[in-house]
Every structure is written in structure tokens, then in C-alpha cells.
Chains A and B, each alone.
Chain A
Amino acid sequence: MDPAYFTPLCTLTSSLVLLAGIAILWRHSLPAYIDSFARQSFFFVLVILAVAATTGTRELYIVAAMVFVLKVVVIPRLLHRVRRTVGADLEIHPYVNVPFSLAIAGALTLVSYVVAAPVMALSDLPTRASIPLALAVIFVGLFIVVSRRSALTQIVGFLVMENGIALLAVLATYGIPLIVELGVFLDVLLGFLVMLVFVHRIRETFDTTDVDRLRKLRQ
């Protein structure tokens, strides 16, 4: 692909990935969170495909296919199913309210540009302009984890963060070696499944997925 199109295309799709992440902060219901995550993963697949088409790296097509199957199809479906069985639909009273959350997301994006400055300075890839966006996705995911109280929302936040890291790897290095990529995929999938099992167990034991009710051990 011509770099004249490639760079803006990367920036556009990466921005969409970030926006889909931020969307989670202003929605209120779990189904919307899960759909936002699926959308975000889909935009991420577009980024990978753009990089793959430009560089002609065959490994990246494999990664794109894996991301699509796992993060656009399988994980959102699993999340929806768990959501229905545990009956948790609304994220009521997050620790940080919506307007303030959005302000923080904006601040985190600015911070990302500061942190990424030396990384961008070092890079000569046409994708370098999008690197801060990936960092911002990571920070937004982290913020979702710490500012929301439903266990399922926290899982979505973790997955958003994970998307951000994978995005960073693709944009900054055109993908890490495939063996590491496969290991990371397996780990994330296993970690995600373990988390789902615990959501079920928390629901059975405490009759809620609001982790704020889990406060026996505080001291």
C-alpha cells in the first residue's frame, strides 16, 4: 500500500480502536460494554490487515484471523452468555461518574502523547503517529478496571487493555515473533476463562457481581 494512504489509514483505524474503548466509559449497560469491546476488536483487526497488506507479512494475517475469531466472535459471545446467566446488566454507581471519567480519558490520552514522545522519535515506521493512541487504549483499559465495580466490567477493562498492548506491538514493531504472540494469546484466553469461572463462583457465593460487596478482607 502507498504510504500516503497507509499512515492516515492507520491513524484512523487506531483512533476508532481508542474511541470504542472510551465509549465504554460513557455507556451504562453491560451489553453495550461487550458490544463496544467487540467493535474495538474489529477495528483492531482492520489495523492488523492494513499493516499486513503494506508489509506483506504472512504471520500478521494469521494474527488477524486469530484476533477476529477470538476477540470479535468468541469472547464477546461468552461474555454475553455469562452476563445473561448471572443476570448482571447495569453498571450502577461506578466509582467515578461518567463526565469525570471522560475527562480522565482525555487526560490519559494527553499523557500517552508525552510518554510516547521518545518512542515516536526513535521510530521510522509510517505507523509511528498512531503509537500514542495504542498507549492511550492501554491506559483507558486500566482506568476501566479500577473505576468500575462490576466484576464483568472489570474483565472488559482488562480485555481493552490487552487490545491496546497488542495494538502497540503491531504499530511499533509490525508484530512480535509469532511464538510469543501465540503464547500471549493462549495466556490471555486462559486468564479470561479463569476470570469467567470466578465471576460464576462470586455470583453463586455472594449473589452479586458487584465486587464492592467483597470486603471481608479489607484492613
Chain B
Amino acid sequence: MTRLKCPFCGPRELREFAFHKTLPAGPGTAFERTYERVDRPERSVEHWQHIEGCRGWLKVERNPSSGAVLTTRLLGGSSVDGAP
């Protein structure tokens, strides 16, 4: 099972996290931000929450084709950084 590195809790199994959304490529109208779905097979930027742990919100960059996790960062402007 893939693991995500939570900046507070360390590497944890994927089942501890809840996926929220994939971010669109760039800023746009409210409609585009809510509904735009662009397939980017190499790099997907996503928001996940560590609900079975610290409940922190994470920004995760993943390669959806290979499943590899590129970077993990806390949302919320904190300086705690979780490089993989």
C-alpha cells in the first residue's frame, strides 16, 4: 500500500488519509476552479487530509501514472515541510 509522508506523523499508510480534491492547473473563475478536470498524467496536485492521524491538511504532488509520490507539504502556510 502506498504511503504518504505526513509532515507531523511521518510516513503512514494511504488508508489513514482522505482524498479531497485535485487542483486545477491554474487560477480561473469559480466555475473553472470547481469543475475543471484536466488530465495531467505526470503530475497531479492534490489535497488530502490525515483524518486517522493529526487531521492536518496536506498538499501532495503525485505522478498518477506510476503512483509515485513526489512531494508532500502541509497546507496552512506552516513552515513544516514533508519532503518524501
The answer to whether A and B belong to the same complex is: no
- State the B residues within 8 Å of A (CB): none
- State the A residues within 8 Å of B (CB): none
